[in-house]
Amino acid sequence: MKRKQEIADLRRECLRLRRAAQRHRNGNEAETIEIEHREAKRELRRAINRSKALCWKQVTEEVNAETIAIEHREAKRELRRAINRSKALCWKQVTEEANADPWGLGY
C-alpha cells in the first residue's frame, strides 16, 4: 500500500508540473519548471521500476516456495509408498515362512 500511495503522489506531482510547464512554456520560468518536470518524471519512473522489481521478487519467491512445497510433498509421498512396499514385502515373507513351517518342525 505504501508503494502505491508513493507512486500516486509522484504521478500527481508530475502531472501538476507538466501542466505548469505547458502553461509557462514561453514565460520566464519555463526552463526551471521544465527541469522540475523532468526530475519529477524521472523519480516517478524510478519508483515504478522499484515497485515492479519488488513485486516480481515477491512473485518469484512465492512460486519457488510453492515449487519446493510441491516437491517436498511428492518426495514424502514417494517415501511413504516405498515404506509401504517394503512393509508389504516383509509381511509377505513372514507369512510365507509361517505357512511353510507353522510349528518350526522342519517338515
Residue 66: pLDDT band with limits 50, 70, 90: confident
Q: Is residue 99 part of a domain?
A: no
Res 69: pLDDT: 81
Mean pLDDT, residues 71-96 taken together: 82
How far is it, in rounded angstroms, from Cα 74 to Cα 82? 12
Q: Is residue 19 part of a domain?
A: yes
Q: Is residue 96 part of a domain?
A: no
Q: Is residue 90 part of a domain?
A: no
Res 76: pLDDT: 87
Q: Is residue 42 part of a domain?
A: yes
Total domains present in the chain: 1
Q: Is residue 93 part of a domain?
A: no
Res 36: pLDDT: 94
Q: Other C-beta atoms within 10 Å of 20: how many?
A: 17
Answer for the pair 40, 10: CB distance below 8 angstroms, yes or no: yes
Domain that holds residue 9: 2-74
Residue 10, pLDDT > 80, answer: yes
Q: Is residue 6 part of a domain?
A: yes
Q: Is residue 64 part of a domain?
A: yes
Mean of the per-residue pLDDT values of the chain: 85
pLDDT digits (tens, 9 = 90+) for 49-61: 999 999 989 888 8
Mean pLDDT, residues 14-31 taken together: 89
Q: What is the 3-state secondary structure (H, E, C) of the chain?
A: CHHHHHHHHHHHHHHHHHHHHHHCCCCCCHHHHHHHHHHHHHHHHHHHHHHHHHHHHHHHHHHHHHHHHHHHHHHHHHHHHHHHHHHHHHHHHHHHHHHHCCCCCCC
